Structure 1
Amino acid sequence: METSIFNYGELPEFKKFTSDRINKEFPSVIDKINLEFKNIENFLSNYLNQKNLDWDKVINPLNEVNEILRWSWGVISHLNGVKNSESLREIYSKFLPEIINLSNKFGQSKIIYKALVKLKETNNFDKVKSRILDKEILEMEHRGISLNIDDQKEFNVISEKLGKLSTNFSNNVLDATNAWFLILNDKSQIEGLPERVLELMSISAHEYLKKEGEADPKNGPWKLSLDIPTYTAFMTYAKDRNLRENLYKAFVSRASNGKNNNCQIIEEILSLRTKQANLLGYESWAELSLSTKMANKIKNVEKLLEELRKPAFKTAKNELEKLNKFSKENGFPPFEALEAWDISYWSEILRKEELNLDQESLRPWFPLNDVLKGLFNLSENLFEIKVVEATNEAPVWNDDVLYFNILNKDDNKIASFYLDPYSRPESKRGGAWMDECLNKNNHGRNILPVAYLVCNQTPPSKDKPSLMSFDEVQTLFHEFGHGLQHMLTTVNLPQAAGINNVEWDAVELPSQFMENWCFHKKTLLNIAKHYETGERLSDENFEKLVKNRTFNCGMATLRQLHFAITDLRIHSNIKSNKDKNSEEIRKEIARDTTVINPIQEDKFLCCFSHIFAGGYSAGYYSYKWAEVLSADAFSMFEEADLENNQNIKKIGKKFKDTVLSLGGSFSPLEVFKLFRGREPKTDSLIRHLGLSSVTQEACQ
């Protein structure tokens, strides 16, 4: 008899997770969880008669059953993101209502709620346990525990609808991205594109057309599509302006028409979120969302975003004027204005002239293996760990996936992680993310933390390894930062270990902190080595990359602020929103957050998965909020002299012992102050963004 594929606490046997086996075996997991839930309720109903309640007797059984659910559904969700198929989608959609129902049962159990409240009232716990209990109680209140029966029923119906709508939203984006393509046959259409992009496009065309023989990058045909590596390269390098326009319009209008239409889904999601927030006594979804975040109130977020918007807007306007002038001097039609599909192209030409930097030409200095070695060496120096590849030890979901162990300074294994580096547009959702495979747990059996790190970088070609753009290098550092917080936790209570219990707007601190090291000379020059010759990146090219960090920084910052302000506003119940749909609200916001107004076809909200299918609803500002923390944290290393390795190691250990180790055991502000010795300041971020020259004047 076959053993079950659902073995909580172990590494998943991914290739055994076929649609048939999931369909057959997952119902028994749900049955087991339901039975455990009943047992817990029965025990607690009697135990509540005791004068004092014990932490282990209340909390440990709840954590165990929640972890079984998280692990089991987590494997299915993970595969749905990295190995998407029609059959897996059907399974995901089929079981999602049951998962939401289970979640609501736990969250709305009056017996569990009473036990948590009494546990807090009858004990004098330390700050860590008190914080965990406060968050658990608040979370139950946010799941509707205090609602009357009718309101609770409505709340649960809304939860189920929101789950389905988010899944449909995500599927529509993936399908719309894959559905649009052009087969190019004329060499003039691909003029300006780098060789490695032509290789990928020709291989894609060859596979699509089912041609015999080998793909021909020089003579085509080439398949132009909306996957990020192709889209970004084409918008940056392709000389054919008409094709850039077509590609841009297709990209920003994804999932906004036809059968993959998210327009109505967005309005339904926003309406249902508002209803759910109102049921819980909040004026808006934004108010509900922020009640559990570090920022706490809408006005605090608006203050930070406005502090950044003013200097960014002024800088962006200057950058656009400069780009307009430059383009006219170099052949752009004199009486035409630059459009959105011209910005990346002309910016790259200006970058080459102004900085003498050709980003594409630097890819050979960033082969994946060398970037990983440099990243691991940096982590070893800062955090007293070793990273050792162990791919043969772990089952993987794709042959490109790598697996690594983290060892402490005594060579004991303390954690592991998977790395899925390459873009697979046909089956893997876009973007990059870190997720939990296994959480640290010292209760019952010793479970070490294991992370999923997922990127979508340029895959290797026939005769070349994966040669990364500098942006892809930063993305890898970013996701590894998330992984470090999950893996280096020293908190023994699983509810607050790693990223658990960390406020959402502080969770980006370690990831954005790690990105800063890409601009540290010694770190980068240890990484950047030509994949063929072994030649190190020159000091000159390093300085160009540092200068490039603030190139068009105003437009880049403004873009993120546009998304953050739009997200916050469409989730806020304010008078100016009345009788307007989300797109109308966004276009209104665009007047102060863009220097090129969105075109009619721009329906970017329809593919804004972060806020409609991810966890960032009324929380997209978190990137900027946490960037303040990360820039200020990194400035402590700068102040100690980045070239003084003894000082850097000392501060690195302090960062590990606070930000990376303490997880959600204390509030983010307390953790930050333990590391930095004071509250965070915005100065370092404004300096890193290159906005310092306009800040003083703009903020007066």
Structure 2
Amino acid sequence: MPPSELLRCEGLPRFDAIEAEHVDQQIPALLADLSERFTTLEDQLRERLSEPDSTPLSWDELMPPFHALGERLRWSWGVVTHLTAVRNTPELREAHARQQPEVVRFSNRVGQSRVLHQALRSLLEQKNNTLDSTQVRILETELLSMQHRGVGLKGDEQQAFNRTSERLAALSTSFSNHVLDATQQWSLVVDDRDQLRGVPDRVLDNLAVDAATADGPWRLGLDMPSYVPILTHAENRDLRETVYKAYVSRASQGELDNGPLIEEILALRQEQSQRLGYANWAELSLASKMADGVDAVETLLEELRAAALPVAEQELKELNQLAASRGAKEALAAWDVSFWAEQLRRERFDLDQEALRPWFPLPQVLDGLFNLCERLFAIRIEAADGDAPIWHEDVRFFRVLDRRGEALAGFYLDPFSRPASKRGGAWMDECLNRRRQPNGDLTLPVAYLICNQTPPSGETPSLMSFEEVETLFHEFGHGLQHMLTTVEHPQAAGINNVEWDAVELPSQFMENWCFDRKTLMGMARHWTTGEPLPEADYIKLCSSRTFMQGSGTLRQIHFALTDLRLHSQWSPELGLSPDAFRRRIAETTTVLPPIETDRFLCAFGHIFAGGYAAGYYSYKWAEVLSADAFSAFEEVGLEQDDAVAATGERFRNTILSLGGSLRPAEIYRQFRGRDASSAALIRHSGLATSTG
């Protein structure tokens, strides 16, 4: 095996050559080399900027060597971070924790280099500037990023900023590890099949302690393929209550308690934002977003809250009525909602979500997704298993080609849940960025696409719920923006340099196509008989699209407002814990208040261990954009292939192609011919009647 895989810094990683000890050996060596090279670059810039009457500093003098350093670190540390998410071990986790402070220190050193900052400003402010719009935007973003990294701070203040940055990075990692450990540690063994009445056999097969026996026992867990079916299908109310209470209290007790970490994270973020001249972390976060400040976000969220609340209240009333009509003795609790919603869905639409799974085996869904991409964006996607090293036997590799057969990109797909070693949820991340190398060669982009759906069982393939189908399309939308970019500066290619509240546009846009007749009926075929999904079921599926949308929208508003206000209004001086503060917000953003033992914040990884701090609203902000973008296709007629292809080409040439090379509002106007409107989202969500 290659002894220095993490020092290679290019090409597809050889994952089998990377173990925890390599992280401890090779990351320090990489950082030492990068530090030496950065010192040389600083010396050259210092000398260059001090020359009297010299020719102006050029882009090629500064940016390629500067960005080469960043790309090497991004590649190596990105591989380590990726493996901690998909092949986690105690040894790898500890190695990551040991090296992370040094990575943060180096990043802070670069971000706080005054000579680099001076050189970037000099390049941007030159008269008779020959920079193109992409280069100008990259420079503006680099300068703002350096401001947020503390380049303007001096002496003790900068040292304190750096210590806090390192501490925040460590807290974020600990938070994520606590959630992973708490999820993994909890289990409940059930011996009596009667206790699991209503739970589909397919689920029980996967939960069986011994796969060879069909009569139990079964081990229930808190990972999604276990938790969701229990809450949705188990008739045993006490069992649902037990599992629900375990789930909403994850990482809130003992040595895995994230409560103290949350308070420290919020306090340190407030310190950092004030050091940088902002009133709070929300203001700092929004300085680099598409939204025009906290007030603009609050306005959108209030518009959606006002539309969703009465609908959600009516939905809960209908669930209570159904439950009462079937003998329920008391009002519904939080652990009842998913179960009775599924019962109402079946009654109203004669639609059983579990019964739909046989029509959505993963291989067929992939074929349908790839056919859609060819129809919309004139690309071909081909399996290339064996062409790239993988980190687990479940992982597949694909290549993306244009219609002439020329390679455009590649991606890994890791579709199945592995709760012992793989983080929950679904995400897309970068493996390689598109970039033009100094020798003229073009590095093609490669993406990681990660899901956590139910794995195959015996001869049965992974049969997907419709929600899992939507999730796959969502993550592939992120992948398309990464893979179909035409920008050759890696700092603005794909999702790079795209404002956080615009980055969900392509992903949420792709979800809409799950309901498109041609797409859905093209991939929905029974895995054993090959029979297409019955027309009646397609109609029911589309009719049920807005089912419980008031509650779903309100839930997202609750998360978004909790995040925004924790980062703009909460402080220890309020005399309220973050949990109590969240409960106040819940008074106007939930129809069932959180139960006493609900510690949702302790597992809210998006904002405490991900990139969504004061940015969770981005999902709804981008949903406005994505719904409005999809309505462009509706306007030309979804059955009109030529018009759809032409609109798809325009979407590809703007939203997907231009990445972070221009401001997202400008790119959106190029595609749509106008700014986005929230009308399409309210209509698609079935909330229009509540707005009067």
User: TM-score with structure 2 length normalisation?
Assistant: 0.98
Match of residue 376 from structure 1: 370
Are 2:302 and 1:296 aligned? no
Q: Does 1:102 align with 2:106?
A: yes
1:577–1:318 distance in 2 versus 1, CA, 3 Å: farther
Q: Which of the numbers 177, 193, 210 marks the counterpart of 1:187? A: 193
CA distance in structure 2 between the aligned counterparts of 1:63 and 1:489, rounded to whole angstroms = 18
SS in 1 for 2:442: coil
> What is aligned with 2:166?
160
**Alignment-derived partner of residue 578 in structure 1:** 574
The one-letter code matched in structure 2 to 1:273 is R
Instruction: Provide closer, same or farther for how the CA distance between residues 9 and 492 of structure 1 changes in structure 2, counting only shifts above 3 A.
Output: same
- Residue by residue over 1:61-108, the C-alpha shift from the partner in whole angstroms, topping out at 9 and shown as x without a partner, is 111010000000000000000000000000000000001001100000
User: Which residue of 1 is the match for residue 203 of structure 2?
Assistant: 197
What amino acid is the match of 1:402? R
Contact 1:554/1:691 (CA < 8 Å) preserved in 2? yes
Please list the CA deviations of residues 7-35 of structure 1 after superposition, one character each: whole Å capped at 9, or x if unmatched: 22210000110122232222211111111
The question of whether the paired residues in 1 share the 8 Å contact of 2:401 and 2:409 is answered with yes
Contact 1:486 1:498 in 2 (8 A): yes
Tell me whether 1:425 sits opposite 2:419 in the alignment: yes
Residue 543 of structure 1 and its aligned partner are, at CA, apart by 1.1
Q: Are 1:283 and 2:279 matched, yes or no?
A: yes
Deviation track 1:377-433 (CA, whole Å, cap 9, x = no partner) reads 000111011101101100000000000000012211010000000000000000000
Which residue pairs with 1:211 in the alignment? none
Verify the 8 A CA contact 2:24 2:99 in the aligned structure 1.
no
From 251, 265, 269, the equivalent of 2:265 is 269
What residue number does 1:566 align with?
562
How far apart, in 1, do the equivalents of 2:201 and 2:391 lie?
30
Tell me if structure 2 keeps the 8 A contact 1:432–1:475: yes
Instruction: Describe how 1:290-439 pairs up with structure 2 within 5 A.
Output: 290-333=286-329, 336-439=330-433
C-alpha distance after superposition, 1:509-559 (max 9, x if no partner): 000000000010111000111110000011111111111211111111111
Aligned amino acid, residue 118 of structure 2: K
Distance between the aligned counterparts of 2:550 and 2:71, measured in 1? 43
3-state SS in 1 of match to 2:68? helix
Aligned to 2:502: 506
Note the 1:467-486 alignment, pairs <5 A: 467-486=463-482
Q: What is the deviation of 1:325?
A: 0.8
- The CA distance in 2 between the partners of 1:514 and 1:451, in whole Å, is 17
Query: Cα 1:693–1:144, aligned 2, differ >3 Å: closer, same or farther?
Result: same
Within 5 A, what are the aligned runs for 1:489-528? Answer: 489-528=485-524
Contact 1:9/1:447 (8 A) holds in 2: no
Residues 2 and 549 of structure 1: CA distance in aligned 2, closer, same or farther (over 3 Å): closer
Matched position secondary structure for 2:137: helix
Q: Secondary structure of the equivalent of 1:489?
A: coil
2:578 maps to a residue whose letter is S
1:145 aligns with 2:151: yes
1:69 aligns with 2:73: yes
**3-state DSSP of counterpart to 2:644:** helix
Output one character per residue of 1:274-313: Cα deviation in whole Å (capped at 9) or x when no partner. Answer: 0000000000000000000000300000000000001100
SS in 1 for 2:491: helix
Aligned partner of residue 407 in structure 1, secondary structure: strand
For 2:90, the aligned partner's letter is E
Seen in structure 2, the aligned counterparts of structure 1 residues 76 and 574 have a Cα distance that, compared at 3 Å, is: closer
Amino acid at match of 2:59: W
Supply the AA of the counterpart residue of 1:479: E
Write out per-residue CA displacement over residues 457-516 of structure 1, whole angstroms, 9 at most, x where no aligned residue: 110001200000000000000000000000000112221111111000000000000000
Aligned to 2:4: 4
**Which of 117, 140, 149 pairs up with 1:134?**
140
Tell me which amino acid in the other structure corresponds to 2:65: P
Return the letter of the residue paired with 2:282: A
- Among 600, 603, 618, which residue is 2:614 paired with? 618
CA 1:576–1:539: 2 relative to 1, 3 Å:
farther
Aligned residues: 684
Query: Aligned partners of 1:399, 1:665: CA distance in 2, in Å?
Result: 37
Deviates more, 1:223-232 or 1:117-126: 117-126
| Structure 1 CA distance for aligned equivalents of residues 93 and 288 of structure 2 | 31
For the residue of structure 1 that corresponds to 2:657, the secondary structure is helix
- Name the stretch that deviates more: 575-584 or 24-33: 575-584
Query: What are the superposed Cα offsets for residues 215-254 of structure 1, whole Å, 9 maximum, x if unpaired?
Result: 323x100001101111000000001101100100000000
Q: Partners in 1 of 2:536 and 2:453 — Cα distance?
A: 26
Q: 1:2 Cα shift? A: 4.4
Distance in structure 2 (CA, Å) of the matches to 1:507 and 1:21: 33
Contact kept in structure 2, 1:371 and 1:473, CA below 8 Å = yes
Work out the percentage of aligned pairs sharing the same amino acid.
Answer: 53
> For residue 216 of structure 1, what is the amino acid of its counterpart?
T
**Distance apart, 1:576 and its partner CA:** 11
Q: Is the 8 A contact 1:510 1:660 kept in 2?
A: yes
Amino acid at match of 1:95: Q
Contact 2:3-2:17 at 8 Å conserved across structures:
no
RMSD: 1.2
Offset of residue 51 of structure 1: 3.9
TM-score by length of 1: 0.97
User: How many Å separate the matches in 2 of 1:350 and 1:577?
Assistant: 45
Q: Name the residue aligned to 2:176.
A: 170
CA distance, structure 1, for counterparts of residue 326 and residue 267 of structure 2 = 49
Q: Within 2, Cα distance between the matches of 1:225 and 1:102?
A: 40
Amino acid of the residue matched to residue 254 of structure 2? G
1:558-595 CA distance string (max 9 Å, x none): 11110000000000036998222211110000010000
Q: 1:217-256 maps to which residues of 2 (within 5 A)? A: 217=214, 219-256=215-252
SS, match of residue 130 in structure 1: helix
Does the residue aligned with 1:223 lie in a helix, a strand or coil?
strand
Whether the aligned pair in 2 keeps the contact of 1:577 and 1:585 (CA below 8 Å) is no
Q: State the AA in 2 paired with 1:554.
A: G
- Residue matched to 1:210: none
Contact 1:423-1:456 at 8 Å conserved across structures? yes
Residue in structure 1 matched with residue 644 of structure 2 by the alignment: 648
User: Which AA in structure 2 matches 1:425?
Assistant: P
| Per-residue deviation, 1:158 | 0.4
**Residue 92 of structure 2 corresponds to which residue in structure 1?**
88
Q: 1:310 to 1:40 in 2, by over 3 A?
A: same
Deviations 1:328-363 (A, max 9, x none): 001211xx1100000000111111011100000010
Deviation (angstroms), 1:256:
0.4
1:189 Cα deviation from its structure 2 partner:
1.1
Residue correspondence of structure 1 range 455-470 to structure 2 within 5 A = 455-470=451-466
Structure 1 contact 570–577 (Cα < 8 Å) conserved: no
Which residue is 1:682 aligned to? 678
Aligned to 1:146, the other structure's residue is in SS state coil
